[in-house]
Chains A and B, each alone.
Chain A
Amino acid sequence: MIDKRLFDLPGMKKYVVILGILVFIQAIAIIAQARALSIAIVNLWNLQSINTIIGPIIVFTVAFLARHLLTVAENHVLFPFVEKTSGDMREDLMAKIFRLGPAEIDKRGTGNIVTMALEGIDQVQTYLMLVVIKILDMSITPWLILLYVLFLRWEQAIFLFAIFPVIILFMIILGLAAQSKADRQYEGYQWLSNHFVDTLRGLPTLKQLGLSKRYADNVYEVSESYRKETMSTLRIALTSTFALDFFTTLSIAVVAVFLGFDLMDGKVMLLPALTILVLAPEYFLPIRNFANDYHATLNGKNAMSAVMDVLHEPEMSQREVLPDLKWNDDSTLKLNQVSLTYPGSKEPTLKDISIDVKGMHKIGIIGASGSGKSTLINLIGGFLSPDGQNQISINGQPLPHLNQANWQKNFLYIPQNPYLFHATLAANISFYVAGASEAAITSAADKAGLSDWIKTLPNGLNTMIGEGARTVSGGQAQRIALARAFLDPNRKVLLFDEPTAHLDIETEAGLKQDILPVFNNHLVFFATHRLHWIGEMDYVLVMDHGRLVEQGIPDQLAQRNGDYVKLRSEMEAADL
């Protein structure tokens, strides 16, 4: 019920001590407030003059103000700490995401990561603010009050103390109910909300099938059945809250009634009796506050777990093994029997891949879908780590993986859908080259065949593109990625992953003419299933079910009648 991780947060102990002292003083203020109020009431009850209550009222006022000022003070004390902790957590998360790279994003989904960094951390902040003070309040205030009541009249103190385990019992039931509620209902809720979004997204399909109108009732029915289910789980949670509520409220009533009888018998005076009665709700208040906010804090707790999960995710270390590198005609890249298994998968996606590359080449990677082309490109790009150690080497230097800062300075990666940042066209082109001159950018754009398009843009190279700005067609996006390659003469390695598969044939034909020149004097890895690219390659890797089944010069492979020939014949269309 109480999150132990909270007290392990760096620097938390100091704050717990300070806050503990404040809460302690606050509890004394609460007792003083009750005592002063009771004195004033008893004086009036004794029909004493109004002057006799001036003193108690002043004490009451001061204690009351002190109590609430202390609440503000507690928040003031804690907030900078919470702000720093959550702020650091956010920065750590961002840094971690950067280090984990795109593979992690694929695993968790962009939306999830963004929500976690934004709303998740906010929820953690709220959680920390709420829960720390509440826990301290619960562990200090009731006991001080109880001690005071004991001093006034031990019978009531024992009653109040005896009722506490009952309350704790119901708190635990509440906790369990809340847990299962949180789990089950959250699942149910996720399911429903997914179902709803699922239905909305599938609307075009429903419309195609002429079912869209009829489906409205289905939406309603699913939602209604969810309501009934929720209500039944909610009932459990609410019932335990009810029990908690019931016992505390009834305890106050019982205390009042017993005090009444004792007063009648003259066993107690009005002042201590009244003080006890005023203090009884205060005794239960912290634990009730805690229970009331319990559900509200669940989100924060879950968010914190999710963030912690990401922060504890293992990452590829040893990113600096490779010494400074500038790929040239004499550089070598060797893969020796490399296998790669995705986490959670039993079968390796790449099996025993061995490649030996020296200098500048144009290497095509072909194979049916699912053969491991993209995985191989991702391995070369260092986004994925191989199963074994030191099976890869560059210039003879054995490397654990290719997520090497100095290797990454040497290549450009051009996927099927190059990502365009929400920035100007010029900034997008010069993303890899800090401080590129406008002339250089213009020239690169020109080589990539963007000039005609740029002329039609309102602000030329300074036009904003990307999400929420001017949309860019798939062909233009490829050209922008290409311009990056033209702009940066230092990156001699180019990794292409199906750059033209989704383009229409005319755009593809046009783009090809502009891509070809960049191949010169570069080491190119080009994964594709578009056959015409093979003609431009001087070396081909044929992949099948994760294995490198054939490799060699295209013309030689064509004569061998092996996997290469088989694959080509399956892909190729007939004569017209």
Chain B
Amino acid sequence: MKNLKKTFENDTWVMPYLRKYKGLLVLVLFLGFMTFFSGGALMFNSGYLISEAARQPASIIYIYVPVVLARAFGIARPVFRYVERLTSHNWVLRIVSDFRKKLYQTVEQKASAIQRSHQTGDILSILADDIDHIENLYLRTVFPMVIGWLLYIFMVIGVGSLNWGVGLLMLLLLGIITIVMPLASVATNGVREFKQHQIQHTFYTNLTDEVLGLGDWLISGRYNDFINLQKKPIKSIAALRKRDHYFQWWRSFLVQIVILLTTLVLLVWSANQFTSSKSLANWVAAFALAIFPAVSPFVNMSQGASEWPVYKRSIERVNALDDGGVQPVEQTSLAEPFNQLSINNLTFKYADGNRNVVKNISMTIHPGEKVALLGPSGTGKSTFLKLVVGDLTPSDGQVLINQQNILSLQDVRSSLFGILDQQPYLFDTTVMNNVRLGNVNASDQQVKDAIAAVGLKDLIESLPDKYDTQVQEAGKRFSGGERQRLSLARILLQDAPIIILDEPTVSLDPITEKKLLDKVFELLHDKTIIWVTHHLAGIAHVDQVRFMENGQFDMQGTPQELYKTQPRFRQLYDLDRGRV
């Protein structure tokens, strides 16, 4: 219970939506209740019907009402069930739409425009799965449980009103299968689930590790090691699963024993209660026949409850996302065109880090200037870029555009910075739509012009669907160089004064790289460019080269200057173009 409270303490994912769609929720529960009620009532009524008929009453009038009711309940049960299923699915899918939006917004707040790896994709898939889990929480646990309890209360009160002693017995007996056993299942299964999750996680990591390194396994010829590595986790999973199954079977059996006891209690009770007269005795069959359909919803309650630990983990994970919101800064915009980017004593340390990733960097960039930034991985280049665009808040110092702090310009950021990175993302839609993302108000002609400017006109127009060609998942319809060009077209439409190039050519071959860089600098000749690059191809395009080492600049100057005066630079440049 304490656990349950803790899970929902700061919950913004389950409770608010229960409240938001209260009406539909009540309807679903009502329909669910009526389904089982009608099922029980059908048999109750039928039992009475044939008992009464067997007395061979003088007129058909005596069984007329039960006959009509039999048909009514016979029709009502499937109808209620049908409507209930439609309503509940609709309800859940509605919530899922809200969830997706909410998850998107939560992730959006934390996303950075400077992104190096796509590894986060896995985390995102996990989150998307979590949403599905919460969907199942309603369909498989919440609805059946609540409906079960409603029926439980109804039955106890119904029998209790005829005989409070038997009512009390029902309360206890049925309480075992509707309350005690689900709770026990949560407890046992919680521990087991946790263990199973851990083992599965190990298995999952091992397996991924093996599959990714398959080439090495194959060449090494270590077939037996490869197979044996999996044996242990497979065995432990199997053992756990076995215990889980046994537990389930015997739990179901226990539920049936409780049902048997309930049936016997009702039989004995009706033997005493209803055998005083013939007309009363007709009720015996009614009660006896109604028991099995009436208790049928209780059979799966424990199973639904035992899935709770899975849902709990999902709920906690999505709720954890909400933590650590960013301090809002009052936003403003620039009155005049961009005239200076100043970086003053910029220092940054990650909250969980112990060293400054960026150390006291200062520089000023004027419109039209082009700066290249080099350095080994891990020296703080991408952190530096994140600080420049305002995705991170500096520990010390500031980034100013026209003397305005960048942190207060976040709302107008896309009118200031255009970014071309390593793997610019193309969405799974048409070429036209993808390029138009640069400026959603651009006309078709403007989009086509931009595509022509980056040199893709002939290629796109040669495709059967031309500008309506689907780029497919992550843009895989096009090659790396083509994807970069499409993104460049997007940036042309965006028309921001400062362009950040974040290693855009890292996965391209030298010829494609050279052509792309020539294109970029040709089209963006009047823009201010900050270019992070991993080698020196195309370096002649810039006015300034800065080498970054441990969060600071060490070597800097124009490429020509550096080539003349710095042997280290000269050596690297010659290496880069293959003259050693």
Contact = CB atoms under 8 A, between A and B. Distances in A.
B285 interface: yes
B275 A467 contact: no
Nearest to A98: B226
A95 B512 CA distance: 40
A273 B267 contact: no
B100 A220 contact: yes
Nearest to B559: A576
B492 to A, nearest CB: 12
B82 A242 contact: yes
Q: Main SS of the interface on chain B?
A: helix
B71 A253 contact: yes
A79 B242 contact: yes
Contacts of B361: none
Given A238-B86, A535-B578, A245 B205 contact: no
A166 interface: no
Interface in B434-480: 437-438, 440, 473-474, 479-480
Contacts of B45: 256
A455 interface: no
B97 A227 contact: yes
Interface residues of B, number: 164
Given A203-B108, A205-B425, A223 B97 contact: yes
A79 B245 CA distance: 9
B164 interface: no
A463 B489 CA distance: 46
A138 B271 CA distance: 35
B459 to A, nearest CB: 15
Interface in B140-154: none
A149 interface: no
B211 A208 contact: no
Nearest to A115: B204
A254 B218 contact: no
Nearest to A44: B284
Give the bracket for the number of chain A residues in contact with chain B. Answer: 35 or more
A47 B278 contact: yes
A299 B364 CA distance: 60
B104 A199 contact: yes
Interface stretch (B49-57, B331-339, B400-408): B49-57
Contacts of B101: 216-217, 219-220, 223
Interface in B403-443: 413-415, 417-419, 421, 424-425, 427-428, 437-438, 440
A460 interface: no
Contacts of B271: 44, 50, 53
B320 to A, nearest CB: 17
Interface stretch (B23-31, B170-178, B501-509, B521-529): B501-509
Given A114-B211, A194-B428, A53 B267 contact: yes
B43 interface: yes
Main secondary structure of the interface of A (DSSP, over half): helix
Given A101-B218, A256-B46, A503-B534, A209 B209 contact: no
Given A223-B96, A573-B537, A257 B377 contact: no
B250 to A, nearest CB: 7
B546 interface: no
A260 B124 contact: no
Given A44-B281, A231-B86, A196 B100 contact: yes
B376 A504 contact: yes
A573 B539 CA distance: 9
Interface stretch (B10-18, B113-121, B322-330, B343-351): B113-121
Given A75-B245, A216-B105, 6 more contacts: A50-B268, A65-B260, A238-B82, A249-B39, A509-B571, A573-B537
Interface of A: 37, 40-41, 44-47, 50, 53, 57, 61, 64-65, 68-69, 71-72, 75-76, 79, 83, 87, 90-91, 94-95, 97-98, 101-102, 105, 110, 113-114, 117-118, 122, 125, 129, 193-213, 215-217, 219-220, 223-224, 226-227, 230-231, 234-235, 238-239, 241-242, 245-246, 249-250, 252-254, 256-257, 259-261, 263-264, 266, 269-270, 273-274, 277-278, 281, 368-370, 381, 383, 405, 408-409, 411-413, 415, 419-422, 431-432, 434, 466-468, 473-475, 502-509, 512, 529-532, 534-535, 568, 570-574, 576
